[in-house]
């Protein structure tokens, strides 16, 4: 009984999700149709024989604003109906581009010219931060590994009294100490680069 009600609940939930997605797609299509619909034909000065054709207006980078005169009609990529006289692409940091319907061909990507300055990366985005952080992780793991190994060998030495185990303990302690010194130097460099930013 519980399994049946669980299945019917999941089926109902799935149907609700599908219905919601379909209705939101229909709303989006209606919204896109209202951007350039046949009632605006005269205001857009469209050529009658080209009115019903659509083409994809795409730019690099995408998400550029598409304007007709002073009215925003969408963002790229955008399906537009051909026959327009002049559209303008605008994106912050890039030159505005005017597009005529004659210049727009299917599959053509309009390249926008970058006119801004390259934004400098923060310290956390730079490679030196990634390298030093990785070094801290690796050296910390190495230090802990060899220190644990040295402790285990020393416990065996105390139990058995074997001098070879004492030599192994000293060897692993030396490796652990060297990697700890390298870890501290690495951490100091990370802190130094962070503070000079």
Nearest of 68, 36, 69 to residue 51 by alpha carbon = 36
Are residues 88 and 132 part of one domain?
no
Residue 136 has pLDDT above 70, yes or no: yes
- Residue 30 Cα distances to 53, 102, 154, angstroms: 18, 27, 77
Q: How many CB atoms lie within 10 A of CB 81?
A: 20
Q: What is the pLDDT of residues 35-92, one digit of tens each?
A: 444 444 444 444 444 445 777 888 888 888 988 888 888 898 888 877 777 888 888 8
Are residues 143 and 113 part of one domain?
no
User: Would you place residue 138 in the very low, low, confident or very high pLDDT band (cuts 50, 70, 90)?
Assistant: very high
Are residues 127 and 109 part of one domain?
no
Terminal CA-to-CA distance of the chain, rounded, Å?
Answer: 65
Per-residue pLDDT, 19 = 52
The conformation of residue 76, written as its DSSP 8-state character, comes to: S
Are residues 70 and 97 part of one domain?
yes
Picking from 91, 117, 143, the residue at the C-terminal end of a domain is 117
Residue 184 CA to its chain's centroid (Å):
33
Checking DSSP bridges between strand 71-75 and strand 78-81, what pairing results, if any? unpaired
Are residues 138 and 81 part of one domain?
no
* pTM > 0.75: no
- Residue 112 Cα distances to 100, 109, 120, 122, 123, angstroms: 15, 9, 21, 26, 29
Per-residue pLDDT, 7 = 59
- Residue 163 is part of which domain span? 123-196
Residue 185 has pLDDT above 80, yes or no: yes
Q: Say if CB 56 and CB 78 are below 8 A apart.
A: yes
Mean pLDDT (the chain) is: 78
Q: Say if CB 73 and CB 43 are below 8 A apart.
A: no
Are residues 167 and 191 part of one domain?
yes
Q: What is the pLDDT of residues 1-22, one digit of tens each?
A: 445 555 565 555 555 555 565 4
Picking from 63, 94, 117, the residue at the C-terminal end of a domain is 117
Per-residue pLDDT, 62 = 84
Per-residue pLDDT, 86 = 83
**Lowest model confidence (mean pLDDT) among 10-19, 104-113, 137-146:** 10-19
Residue 68 CA to its chain's centroid (Å):
31
In a domain, 4, yes or no: no
Are residues 150 and 109 part of one domain?
no
């Amino acid at each position: 009984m519980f399994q049946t009600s669980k299945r019917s609940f999941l089926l109902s939930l799935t149907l609700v999700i599908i219905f919601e997605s379909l209705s939101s797609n229909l709303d989006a299509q209606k919204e896109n149709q209202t951007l350039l619909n046949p009632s605006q034909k005269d205001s857009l000065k469209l050529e009658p024989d080209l009115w019903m054709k659509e083409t994809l207006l795409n730019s690099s980078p995408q998400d550029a604003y598409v304007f007709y005169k002073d009215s925003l009609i969408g963002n790229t990529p955008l399906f537009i109906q051909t026959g327009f006289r002049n559209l303008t692409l605008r994106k912050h940091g890039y030159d505005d581009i005017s597009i005529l319907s004659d210049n727009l061909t299917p599959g053509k990507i309009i390249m926008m010219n970058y006119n801004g300055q390259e934004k400098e990366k923060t310290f956390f985005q730079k490679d030196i931060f990634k390298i030093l952080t990785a070094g801290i992780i690796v050296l910390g793991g190495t230090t802990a590994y060899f220190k644990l190994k040295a402790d285990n060998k020393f416990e065996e030495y105390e139990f058995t009294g074997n001098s070879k185990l004492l030599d192994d303990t000293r060897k692993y302690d030396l490796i652990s100490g060297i990697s700890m010194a390298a870890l501290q130097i690495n951490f100091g460099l990370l802190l130094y680069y962070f503070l000079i930013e």
